[in-house]
Amino acid sequence: MTKLCIDYPMKYTHLLKGDITFALAQLYERFPAYEKTMIRLREEGREIMLDNGAWEFKVSMPVEDYLEIIQLLEPTYAVIPDAYQDAKKSRKLTLEFFDKFIPLNLDTKLIYAPQGKNITEIIEEYNFNVNKFFAYMDMVGIPKHVGDLLNRVAFTDMLYDSADIKFQKVHFLGYWNYEELMFAPKERKSAAWYLHSIDTKYPVKYAYLPTKFKDQLDYYLTEDKLNIDSFEVAVEHFYEGLLKLKWTKK
């Protein structure tokens, strides 16, 4: 079954619902309590997915700083640095990242999320980078701005068909809500790839309703009490939906 990665506010990062805990490098760098919790979770065997924050903060962390955190935290997965919808900047970041990452010989599995303003740019960027670094990439990440589930599946099929080197494992970044899963197609054009995991804030935001957060930092720094019962209901809804995605199994 597809793994569920939950993106928690800092106050509730210790919760163990879902299969993977999402971690932001900027929060790890700025908040010692967050850093301590992430290290403890990792030491206890929890899978951690580290991200560079390009979507959340509209700017990617400097590569050297990001790599330092990867070495300290030793996350299970890390998203390769990128720039939101900017193929040119993303390419520069990817080249710089691998120039420094490869000699370190780390065990962290890398997620590559090609960026661009349109489908053509994203496909071109994918092919440029995988032809250089495919051996170091564990899975492909499909960015949030591609759209809902149906759009992401159609786009992933298109990317697969256009790929110079074919991928298998896929991660959907920033999943909107579990209701999308009800419209999941039973079959896909490119059946060779499978959905390894998704990350989402939705179960937390569902539990905070009717509260709405001003921005990403407001979400991560909230001190409001989480309705645990509502949160757990939303998590179960996600798992029920993921169980229906028969095509996610390799």
- pLDDT value for 149: 87
Domain count, the chain: 1
Q: How distant, in Å, are the alpha carbons of 201, 207, 240 from that of 180?
A: 14, 18, 12
> How far apart (Å, rounded) are the C-alpha atoms in residues 247 and 3?
14
The residue to which tokens 């989402």 are assigned: 200
% of the chain exceeding 90 in pLDDT? 74
Residue 247's pLDDT band (cuts 50, 70, 90): low
Give the tens place of pLDDT for each residue, 152-168.
988 999 999 999 999 99
Q: State the CATH number of the domain containing residue 178.
A: 3.20.20.70
Identify the top-confidence range among 123-127, 147-151, 183-187: 123-127
Task: Write out the DSSP string of 160-218.
Answer: HHH-SS---EEEEEEE--GGGGGG--S--S-TT-EEEEEEESHHHHHHHTT---SSHHH
Closest CA to 50 of 13, 75, 15: 75
pTM above 0.75, yes or no: yes
Domain that residue 154 falls in: 3-248
Give the tens place of pLDDT for each residue, 202-239.
999 999 999 889 888 899 999 999 999 999 999 999 99
